[in-house]
Structure 1
Amino acid sequence: MKAVSYRVYGGPEVLEYGELPKPKVGPDSVLVRVKAAAVNPVDWKAQAGYLEPLLDAVFPVIPGWDVSGVVVAVGSDVPEFQEGDEVIGYVREDVLSRGTFAEYVAAPVRTLARKPAGLSHEEAAGLPLAGLTAYQALKAVGAASGDTVLVHAAAGGVGSMAVQLARHFGARVIGTASERNHDYLRALGAEPVVYGDGLTERVRALAPEGVDVVLDLVGGGVIRTSAEVSAPGARLVSIADPEVADLNGRLLWVRPDADDLTALSHLAEQGVLSVEVAEVFPLEKTADAQRLSAQGHTRGKIVVTVP
């Protein structure tokens, strides 16, 4: 099969495009013909070796954890799916090895859900990791109706999902973003503020009594700033800053969860969740997709398609 892979840690320059063996399918897995795979910052960070303390790498590594595609074979004990089913998945295993930037990926059923009807494969590929991160973060802090939720990096892939989900739960949302993304956040139902110097004063002007929930999706010390605008008993969660634990908050590492992913798929079908696709690259241009992602200024998802 055609795939993109790397044999040593490094940047986009270490990616190779060529032939690799089609993956074997375990008893509780299915073989997915990849239609689209979304790029996430964790892809190129893992590729650079940042996750080496956590995950072993079995080289050559095919990067990518997000996928939308079609089931073409099922394992011996898979009643959940059959050939021809369209699926989405956050296909993360406990080693770096068989990723989604390839014609085929072997995906454990615990990582999959049915693709939302009405979403293209490009849109659907952007839902799993970002959607699960936002969903599990909001669940971890019990975000609910009546809460004021502060979302940092609200216009990004995870942030835009968090805004939509929090609004669906009945919460008021304040979101940090560059000014060029403020109209976008307003369209999602958030009240935008510019990040940077003076953020504390800007958030306090919107929420004088403090915010009830903080989602830190960017790191860089914003969790400390957030503590200054939090109401008593506020719940904090970060996906990027371990210091959140010092503030009685939670550091979250998103987990593959078929039930959570199915819930997100249903919300997308109902029109509660939308996925904005920023740019699409062919599989052989995955390195260019990574370079664009690493710039950190993209609104929505960068997606790679497989012909």
Structure 2
Amino acid sequence: MKAVVFTAFGGPEVLRLAEVPTPRPGPGDIRVRVRAAGVLPFDTGLRSGRFPPAMTPGFPDKPAIPGNEFAGVVEELGEAVSGFEVGDHVLGFTTTGAYAEYVVVPADQLALRPAAMPWEVAAGLSANGQGAYMALRQVGVRAGDVVLIHAAAGGFGTLAVQLAKAQGAKAVIGTASEANHEYLRGLGALPVAYGPGLVDRVRALAPSGVDAAIDAAGPEALRASVELVEDRARIVTMTNGELGRELGLPEWSGTRSGQRLAELAGMWDEGLFTLHVRATYPLDRAADAHRDVETGHGRGKVVLTVAEES
């Protein structure tokens, strides 16, 4: 099969399209013919070598295949699999391996794709959708809360804003570059610019205080959150774990599951949130997709298209 691989850590240029063995499902596994795969900051970090060696087993002798989320068609079932049939349209998650024509995952890492959900949306939902869902649960968002979400226009932030509103938040304040403020207003958020004076700008929007905060932006945002939220147990960072520990914040925790993914797919089908795909790239342009994600200021998701309907 064709897959995007890398055999050395580095910039996007280390990614290349190659022929690799097609995986076979073991007991409890399902092989999926991939239609599209989401592109995440996690993937760019894997490629650049920011993660432990365990994330790339056998590397560099064995080429690593990025890709953490995907959507496609069930092609082969391993032994003892129930709940899915060959030909089912699914979305799912893995740790690596989704930038490929085929991926094998345990059956409990898949959910059925709603018929109305575009493939690109299905491919981009799993990681950011589940991450946002779990982060909001960890900080305990409830009806009437004022929630601060940093990097609110990105793939993660876009979903966190909408899910917070769906959970009854009274107001969601989202940090973003000014070019994305109108976009955030369209999602129901109160936009605020990054940079000096951030704390004062947020306080002007929330004179009664901020109840919870989620950081997906950087150290400045996390330090601002500590000034704004009284209860540090209601602050979580998705990107700055070391600084979070220094500030006495709880570790982010959560485990993705097919059941949670199915719940999110159902919420999408009910119209409770949308997922904006800002750009799609063919599989052989994975390096360009990584460059796009690494700009850090785009709206919504970047997705690789892998195969057309057969």
In the TM superposition, residue 244 of structure 1 has moved relative to its aligned partner by: 2.2
Tell me the equivalent position of 1:123: 121
| 1:61 maps to 2:64 | yes
Q: 1:70 aligns with which of 58, 68, 73?
A: 73
Moved more, 179-188 or 243-252: 243-252
Q: SS at 2:184's partner residue?
A: helix
Could you list the per-position Cα deviations for residues 115-162 of structure 1 after superposition, in whole angstroms to 9, with x for gaps in the alignment? 133111011111100101100000111111111100000000000000
Mapping for residues 106-255 of structure 1, pairs under 5 Å: 106-171=104-169, 172-232=171-231, 235-242=234-241, 243-252=243-252, 255=255
TM-score by length of 2: 0.93
Tell me if structure 1 keeps the 8 A contact 2:232–2:248: no
Which residue matches 1:8? 8
Amino acid at match of 2:203: R
Letter in 2 for 1:66: E
Give, in whole Å, the separation in 1 of the partners of 2:102 and 2:148. 39
The alignment yields a C-alpha RMSD, in angstroms, of 1.5
TM-score, scaled relative to structure 1? 0.94
Code of the residue aligned with 1:51 in structure 2: it is F
State the 4+ residue runs in structure 1 displaced beyond 6 angstroms: none
Q: Tell me the alpha carbon deviations over residues 88-118 of structure 1, each in whole angstroms, 9 at most, x when there is no partner.
A: 11212xxxxx511110000112221111331
Q: Contact 1:112–1:258 at 8 Å: present in 2 too? A: yes
- CA separation in 1, counterparts of 2:54 and 2:223? 26
SS in 2 for 1:89: strand
Q: Note closer, same or farther for the CA distance 1:232–1:288 as it changes in structure 2 (3 Å cut).
A: closer
Report Cα offsets for 1:172-195 as digits up to 9, x if no partner: 201101111111111111111111
In 1, the alpha carbon distance for the partners of 2:84 and 2:286 equals 29
* Paired AA for residue 112 in structure 2: R
* Contact 1:124/1:275 (8 A) holds in 2: no
User: How far apart are residue 248 of structure 1 and its match?
Assistant: 4.2
State the distance in 2 between where 1:212 and 1:265 align: 28
Query: Per-residue deviation at 1:232?
Result: 4.9
Match of 2:45 in 1: 45
Contact 1:182/1:192 (<8 A) preserved: yes
What's the counterpart of residue 286 of structure 1?
286
Q: Aligned residue for 2:277?
A: 277
Normalized per residue, the structure richer in strand is: 1
Q: Which amino acid aligns with 2:108?
A: R
Give the aligned residue type for 1:10.
Answer: G
Percent identity between the aligned chains?
45
- Quote the offset at 1:35 in angstroms: 0.3
SS in 1 for 2:211: strand
Q: What is the rounded CA distance, in whole Å, between the counterparts of 1:18 and 1:232 in structure 2? A: 50
Aligned mates of 1:73, 1:143 — CA distance in 2: 40
Q: CA deviation at 1:29?
A: 1.0
Q: How many Å separate the matches in 2 of 1:139 and 1:296?
A: 25
Deviations 1:228-249 (A, max 9, x none): 1124566101111122234443
- Which range is displaced more, 29-38 or 294-303? 294-303
Does the 8 Å contact 1:102/1:306 carry over to 2?
yes
**Structure 1 match to 2:100:** 102
Give the secondary-structure state (helix, strand or coil) at the position aligned to 2:219: coil
Q: CA deviation at 1:253?
A: 5.4
Q: Which amino acid aligns with 1:120?
A: P
Question: Which ranges of structure 2 fall in alignment gaps of 5 or more residues?
Answer: none
Give the counterpart of 2:92 among 89, 93, 101. 89
Q: Which amino acid aligns with 2:84?
A: F
Greater shift, 14-23 or 153-162, is seen at 14-23
Shift of 1:260: 1.4
The alignment of Structure 1 onto Structure 2 pairs a total of residues equal to 302
In 2, Cα distance between the equivalents of 1:190 and 1:65?
28
